[in-house]
Amino acid sequence: MTDKRSAGERIVRILVMAAFLIVVIFPLYWMLITSLKPKKDIFSLPIHYWPKTLTFENYENIFKITKFHIYIINSLVVSLGAALVVLTISTLSSYVLARFKFRGSSQVMFFFFLTQVIPAFIGFAPLYLMMSKLNLVNSLSGLALVYTVMAIPFSTIMLKGFFQRVPSSLEEAAQIDGCSRLGALVRVIMPVMLPGLSATFIFSFVQNWNELFFSVMVIDSEKLKTIPVAMNSFITKFDVDWGSMSAATVLSVVPTLILFALCQKLIVQGLTQGAEKG
């Protein structure tokens, strides 16, 4: 790759990359632009690639007609809550799997890996029936519980990769200084692991924030709806009113886009380790 490249080749390379970037960005741009157009402009020809008049009426509309602020809060509570619990549980499990050689450790890894291969939908209906027996249907804590369980295997696999990069001499030194195992983990290892922990946290937060089918099955009442459940009912209710729909899309995508933009490097690192180390 050290060979000299001609100017023409460089231009082609830049053009291809620019074209690809446009293809990636354009659908998002189009949703944003649609959300800022007045209704009559959305549904009339010719199509404007830059809105003639900018308006926030679509955003005002969804907050007026629906309880969108409540959906946002519900989504935040469930996604954050579940992600925090997942982080705690899988920090413990992945730490042990990364640090200790014990009989059955590879079976435990396989136990977690297998859940990633089996289609989760097979368990959806029984899980729903189980939840209704436990009185956890139509409850945000029930939903958070399911999200927690769904994320544990992948988070464990991902965090194990991060733990393996931290030299074990660190906590050995801490233990010699009188720390307990758990104390060494919390006070010495976790600070070093901060990047890996945040990547895992964000990854499971985004998964919870985006999950659709199980929440649609479980959540029924208006005041408990999360954003995906609400948007799913918009489709049927308004026969897709694209003004409101695009505004809702933009609102629900912004938090995850910001998180991904801030921590993209970390997430990529976590994903590549997860895939390479399995």
Partner 1 sequence: MSTQATTSKSSRKSASALWFILGCLAPAIVLVLGFTYYPMLRGIVMAFQNYTLFDLTNVHFIGFDNFKEVLKSDNFLLALKNSFYWVVVSLVLQFVIGFGIALLLRKQFFGRGVYQGMIFFPWAMSGFLIGLIWRWLFNGQIGVINDLLIKIGIIDMPIAFLSSPSWGMFAVIVANVWYGIAFFAIMLLAALQSVPEEIYEAAAVDGTNRLQKLFLITVPYIMPTILTTVMLRVIWITNFPDLIYSMTNGGPAGSTHILATFMMDKILYGGEYGQAAAVGIIMMVLLVLFMFFYFSASKHEKAGDF
**Which residues within the stretch 2-21 sit at the binding site for partner 1 (CB under 8 A)?**
2-3, 13, 16-17, 20-21
Segment 135-194, which members bind partner 1 (CB under 8 A)?
A: 145-146, 148-150, 152-153, 156, 181-182
Q: How many Å apart are CA 131 and CA 30, to the nearest integer?
A: 40
Q: How far is the CB of 107 from partner 1 (least distance, A)?
A: 11
CB of 64 to partner 1, least distance (A): 21
Shortest distance, position 133 Cβ to partner 1, whole Å: 12
Q: Based on CB atoms, which residue is closest to partner 1, 38 or 113?
A: 113
Token digits for 49? 């690639």
Site for partner 1 in 219-238 (CB under 8 A): 228, 231-232, 235
Residue number, 224 or 245, with CB nearest to partner 1? 245
Among 31, 36, 62, 199, binds partner 1 (CB under 8 A): 31
Question: Minimum distance between the CB of residue 93 and partner 1, rounded to whole angstroms?
Answer: 4
The Cβ of residue 96 has, within 10 Å, a number of other Cβ atoms equal to 17
Least distance to partner 1, CB of residue 131, Å:
9
Q: Does 32 bind partner 1 (CB under 8 A)?
A: no
Site string for partner 1, 53-92 (x = CB under 8 A): ------------------------------------xx-x
CA distance 115 to 113: 5
Contact with partner 1 (CB under 8 A): which of 197, 246, 266, 270?
Answer: 246
Residue 264 in contact with partner 1, rule: CB under 8 A: yes
Among 123, 170, 177, 186, binds partner 1 (CB under 8 A): 123
CB-count exposure of residue 158 (10 Å: 0-12, 13-18, 19+): buried
* The binder of partner 1 chosen from 4, 40, 45, 191 (CB under 8 A): 45
